[in-house]
Amino acid sequence: MPMLSPENYIRQRARNLPIFECWVNTGWSEGGLAHVFVARNHSNGNITLGIYLVDLKCLGVKDAAWRFNIPESEYRELLQYSKDTMELEPIQYSLAHNIVFAGVEFADEYGFKPHRDFSSIVQFILEEDSDEIELIDIECGNEGKPLFIQGPYDDHAKTARILAQLEKTAGPGNYFFINGIDPDDEEDDFDEFDEDEDENENENEHEKFTDLDIKVENKHVKKLLQKTSPGFQFKIQLEGIEDPPVWRRIVVPSHYSFLDFSFIINNVFDWWEEHLFLFSPKGWNSYPIIQMDDEDSFDGGEVLDADDTHLSDIFKNENQKFTYIYDFGDDWTHEIVLEKILPELVNMPDCLDGEGQCPPEDCGGEPGYANLKSVLSDPSDPEYAELKEWVDLEEDEEWDPHKFDLDEVREILKYLFSTI
């Protein structure tokens, strides 16, 4: 009998292992952020562990991790490491289960999917969410509305995308936002979304964030919008992807930096911005333009700083070609063609046209995406159910490689690069 991989063992058999113990951080209910640990016991005494970071206020399962068949001593060391950073308390499995799935259900109401590792693997360390599990009421949101609390790793781009999603699903005035806390200036913890300075100071302070007349503060975007320059019209196409091809036609002000350009490309293609990137004249074998924080990833040779290099420094002539590579594992290579140098001056980007749905992140590059499309077009394929779940498709939903919503992409750009 062939041995199962750890991933497939968890998917198929983890629920048959008895619960060993469960933990959660103290104060999770008041703070709305739960670190949940669920450990199951193998017959050999080893442990399979699921770890869940659950934002009960808005985003649901933000992160998930697993450890398979590890010695109990290793499990205890991992748990102690966590206890050194936060106070944990033991809980019954039913409470752990309800915390996780309450977060998943609440976030789903507003279009936020759980972390991909949760959907593909780590959810199977939990019991199936059924009526057999004792139902425990878990408070989510703030007064029934989503409350997004910007964390230390939520940069402007991620924050703006989350707020754009809330604007779309919850509606204006139907959610709250709290800016990331600056420990050196506690009085500036909150970004008010209400311009009425005469508001009653005794009113619930969360009510200040229901008005979205003022978006996320970002000095860099403000600076970009204060200047106009000739627009560069680019056609950007993913290489090696056909039936259909995946491409976007965009206009970008020529004074924008290559770091801004990468941010725009990621948003119009729907990449997650979680991997390294480079621009270069001819791909890998030509001098790169990179984010200098990633300089250690390149062995010698000249590199240009994407934040200090502007589009107008490189692009001089119509029909000039360039290359953008995103994710140095999957190596998504984009051909960039400067189609037109527009005479009119612009200060923000726009998307004019496009075709094809962007491949899922981490699917294995061109060959992996070709296999994924093949499997998802054949419900009889043995991998169909697993891959469908991996790409977060609903039961009655199919993968549509032709899917592209121009209006939605334009709204995202408008939101990210609007006057703030």
The string of DSSP codes covering 2-20 is PPPPHHHHHHHHGGGSPEE
Reference 79, options 40, 23, 4; nearest CA is 23
144/40: higher pLDDT: 40
Q: What long-range pairs does 71-74 form, CB within 8 A, spacing at least 24?
A: 71/45, 71/46, 71/47, 72/45, 72/46, 72/47, 74/47
The pLDDT of residue 192: 32
Pair 58, 148: CB distance under 8 Å: yes
Position 363 in a domain: no
Predicted pLDDT at 180:
58
Residue 75: strand pairing partners = none
Average pLDDT over residues 352-372: 93
Same domain, 107 and 179: no
Q: CA-CA distance, 122 to 51, in Å (whole number)?
A: 8
Per-residue pLDDT, averaged over 354-383, amounts to 92
Which of the four pLDDT bands, split at 50, 70 and 90, describes residue 136?
A: very high
Q: How far apart are CA 407 and CA 386, in angstroms?
A: 31
Higher pLDDT, 415 or 134: 134
Rounded to the nearest integer, the mean pLDDT of the chain is 85
pLDDT above 60: residue 183: no
Cα-Cα end-to-end distance for the chain: 61
Of 136-145, 191-200, 263-272, 408-417, the range with the lowest mean pLDDT is: 191-200
Residue 33: pLDDT over 90: yes
Q: What is the mean predicted confidence (pLDDT) over 316-336?
A: 95
Which of 95, 125, 155 represents a domain boundary (last residue)? Answer: 125
Q: Assess whether 235 and 352 both reside in one domain.
A: yes
Instruction: Answer whether residue 214 shows pLDDT above 60.
Output: no
Residue 367 corresponds to which tokens in the numbers above?
């060959």
The domain that holds 240 is classified in CATH as: 3.10.290.30
Q: What pLDDT is stored for residue 206 in this prediction?
A: 36
Q: Hey, what are 143's tokens?
A: 């007064």
Closest CA relative to residue 22, chosen from 42, 43, 36, 41: 36
Same-domain check for residues 115 and 258: no
**Looking at the structure, do residues 246 and 313 belong to the same domain, yes or no?**
yes
Q: Are residues 23 and 102 in the same domain?
A: yes
Co-location of 250 and 104 in the same domain: no
pLDDT, tens digit, 9 for 90 and up, residues 251-292: 999 999 999 999 999 999 999 887 889 999 988 877 889 887
Do both 351 and 231 map to the same domain? yes
User: 10 Å Cβ neighbour count for 99?
Assistant: 24
Instruction: Give domain status of residue 348, yes or no.
Output: yes
| 72-124 residue pLDDT tens | 999 999 999 999 989 999 999 999 999 999 999 999 999 898 988 898 889 99
**pLDDT exceeds cutoff 90 at 178:** no
In a domain, 312, yes or no: yes
Separation CA 284–CA 245 (nearest Å): 22
Residue 107 lies in a domain: yes
Residue at a domain's end among 69, 95, 125: 125
| Region 398-409 average pLDDT | 92
Q: How many CA atoms lie within 13 A of 264 on its CB side?
A: 25
Partners of 350 in the β-ladder: 251
Q: Residues with Cβ < 8 Å from 133, sequence gap 6 or more?
A: 94, 97, 98, 127
Burial classification of residue 192, based on how many CB atoms lie within 10 Å of its CB (0-12 exposed, 13-18 middle, 19 or more buried): middle
Peptide bond into 71 cis (omega under 30): no
* Predicted pLDDT of residue 172: 86
Across 123-146, b (16+ Cβ under 10 Å) vs e yields bbbbbeeeeeeeeeebebbbeebb
Is 90 exceeded by the pLDDT of residue 201?
A: no
- Domain identity same for 245 and 176: no
Domain match, 256 and 156 both: no
Q: Answer yes or no: is 336 within a domain.
A: yes
Give the C-alpha separation, 54 to 34, whole Å. Answer: 5
Decide: 167 and 222 in contact? Cβ < 8 Å: no
Q: Is residue 244 part of a domain?
A: yes
Residue-level pLDDT at 4: 67
Q: What is the mean pLDDT of residues 23-43?
A: 95
Based on the fold, state whether residues 235 and 209 are members of the same structural domain. Answer: no
Structure tokens at 43: 């017959």
Supply the range of the domain harboring residue 322. 223-357+400-416
Domain count, the chain: 3
Shared domain for 270 and 411, answered yes or no, is yes
Query: Does residue 69 share a domain with residue 27?
Result: yes
Tell me whether residue 366 is in a domain.
Answer: no
Q: Is the pLDDT of residue 419 over 60?
A: no
Separation between Cα atoms, residue 66 and residue 75, nearest integer Å: 11
Sign of CA dihedral 272, 385, 115, 175: positive
Determine, yes or no, domain membership for 376. Answer: no
